Structure 1
Amino acid sequence: MQDSHNIDKLLDTTGLFCPEPVMMLHSTFKDIKVGDVVKVLATDPSTTRDIPKFCLFLGHELIEQGEADSQYQYLIRKGG
């Protein structure tokens, strides 16, 4: 995953399991403004399903997702 986007917030959820990563992401999105980009780091494979659904249901843009070194990474832009 390339960090070609300006990242406004880094959310490290490594070592946490469902539902904690998505709960933390939801909490983080309450504290940022529309258009901000969050990079999420995770080790729970269920995030590959949960984070895209979170974005779809709540109107956020999943810019990019990838996996490297047993870690899942997501770039998400907060929608309106």
Structure 2
Amino acid sequence: MREEVCAENEGSRKYRKNKRKAVEERGALRGRRKERRRRGKDSRGGGGGGCVPVTNWSRDKLVCFRFLDGQNSQCGSS
């Protein structure tokens, strides 16, 4: 009996650990998605597709991000 209980506890602990890991990964993904959305807004405000301000205070200095569909061709200071 005791061995069974031990195995049960171990399994539940493993499941809890995996669940926590999944939640952490989900949170990281959500944060990354939000960051990407904000960056896209910044690039739209800067006036260049795929262009992002280096920092918030220098909007004239833009950085090119190479996208798969070749949006970096639209890069340039606004």
TM-score normalised by L of structure 1: 0.29
Structure possessing the higher radius of gyration over alpha carbons: 2
More helix by share: 2
The one of the two structures with greater contact order (alpha-carbon pairs below 8 A, sep at least 6) is 1
